[in-house]
Structure 1
Amino acid sequence: MARRKLTLIFIGVFCLIMVVPFILGAGKAQSAPKLDLDTPEIAALDVKECIEPVEYMRSSHMTLLDQWRNDVVREGKTAYVSSTGQVYEMSLDDTCLSCHSNPDQFCESCHAYSNVDLYCWECHGLTDDGVVGEG
């Protein structure tokens, strides 16, 4: 009988521990940020397309950037051939941020919402005036 009581207490405490984070977070959900693609660089483009399709970039941009970093740093490659056959320089600063010149709104807002720590800026640092430059 005592064992059954301890088991029920354990199950109750376990359930309480599992439910507390949901109770504390209730009503605190934030809406997803709206990406700001309205930069002068993007507005000036005749054809507004990224190096890969939008769906791929939304889901796999970090995989692509990690691969670029490895290819450039470890193998000395500097050219990326996209799925459409177009060749791009493998460079966060010169390729990605030449269009997405608003990293605070474009990158930071989604990563803050997703609670993802960006380590890009350890090498690609923002200067005091908010301009991206090599760290």
Structure 2
Amino acid sequence: MKFQLIIAFSILGASGNALASEVDVNSARTSLKNYGLANCISNQFKNQSDIKSDIGLAIGAYSAMGKGQHAISQNEDTLEVIHDPYAETEKFMTDAYAKASSTSKQSGKNVVFYSCLEIYNSPAFEAFIKSQDAYISD
């Protein structure tokens, strides 16, 4: 009986660690997705405004210098950036926006928020975010 309890607690502990690990991965993915969405919106507006400033603060919060959970990979000797998940995410959003921006029938202007949300919720962006899992910090 004692041996069975030890095994049961060991299994529960292992599955709890797996669950915590999965939660961390999902949290990191969400953070990087939010970073991408904030950049997508902010990059479409060139003039400074209260909203653009606020979104800029969110970008900082989701970045590696804020609460971002992805590591920027660098060469240890030269400090050259090998891979930057944040720069790659911004590039993904910029490229996707250029292809998928929607135009309002009433105004003839691009509908930035709508377009960025469409990209944010796309299977392609989800797959891209998952491709950055190797850079999640421990």
TM > 0.5: no
Question: Looking at CA atoms only, which structure, 1 or 2, has the larger radius of gyration?
Answer: 1
Shorter-normalised TM-score: what interval?
A: under 0.3
**TM-score (ref. length: structure 1):** 0.23
